[in-house]
Amino acid sequence: MAPTLHNTDLSFDRFVAELSSLSNDELSELIGSGSILDEPAFSMGRSSDLAAFYAPFDWINEDANIVLLGVTPGKQQAEAAPAALRHSLRSGSSVGDAMRIAKQSASFAGEMRTIATRLMDHFRMNDLFGLASASELFGRSSNRVHYTSVDRYPVLQKKGSQLDQLSRRNFKGRPRKSTFARHGSRLPYSGIEDAGECLACSIRPYPGYHPR
């Protein structure tokens, strides 16, 4: 079933139709330049220096017992998610399966996974989770994880005085502003809400874990 995009003029069906009309290069250019913020099928609103756009990070892993929380998906992840969604739909996957594949493929994609793995392994969180390495959270143990962000959808921030295409960069969390101007709605949705919807979203010691 297609997700419902609350408090926004966006339509998921319209998003998929627009996505299907774009080539990989066109999608990459829209996201890389930030001009995707000007596309009605993607734009989710903006404030004076922040703007958000839709990418398919809606799926919730209700079987998760670990939650990995970031700030917001960056351009690399925002490009990977719709590309994976489109490929899955074209391959005959249901919308639900395609959304799951998109979320798992794109979340923390790239260097972020390496950094997160090193950090968790350094503090022996892999032992806490019963894993040889935290890298397994992005591979064979991904079924145990719910990936999300403080801002669920990609947020870009201006570099200079104008939110023009050449100045749009990934939002890194400062200053902390999360109110976007669109019909008075607070956008984008906070991914923290996702954790509350997981049936078992808690970080707990794995059987056999003994602190040293």
- Domains contained in the chain, number: 1
Does a structural domain hold residue 112? yes
Tell me the C-alpha to C-alpha distance, in Å, between residue 188 and each of 97, 125, 127, 192. 23, 30, 34, 12
Residue 190 pLDDT: 54
Residue 204 pLDDT: 43
Residues near 91 by Cβ (< 8 Å), separated by ≥ 6?
A: none
| Ranges of residues in the chain whose predicted pLDDT is under 70 | 1-10, 48, 158-212
Does a structural domain hold residue 206? no
pTM of the predicted model as reported, rounded to 2 decimal places: 0.75
Burial of 23 (0-12, 13-18, 19+ CB in 10 A): exposed
Does a structural domain hold residue 85? yes
Residue 212 pLDDT: 44
Does a structural domain hold residue 153? yes
Residues of the domain holding 38: 12-197
Does a structural domain hold residue 209? no
pLDDT, tens only, 80-108: 999 999 999 999 999 999 999 999 999 99
Does a structural domain hold residue 147? yes
Does a structural domain hold residue 210? no
Instruction: Tell me if 15 sits within 8 A of 24, measured CB to CB.
Output: no
Does a structural domain hold residue 69? yes
Residues near 35 by Cβ (< 8 Å), separated by ≥ 6?
A: 29, 165
Can you tell me the distance from the alpha carbon of 56 to that of 5, in angstroms, rounded to the nearest whole number? Answer: 10
Q: Which residue has the tokens 């960069």?
A: 169
Residues near 22 by Cβ (< 8 Å), separated by ≥ 6?
A: 30
Which of 45, 14, 47, 43 lies closest to 31 in space, CA to CA? 43
pLDDT, tens only, 174-202: 555 444 433 333 444 555 555 555 443 44
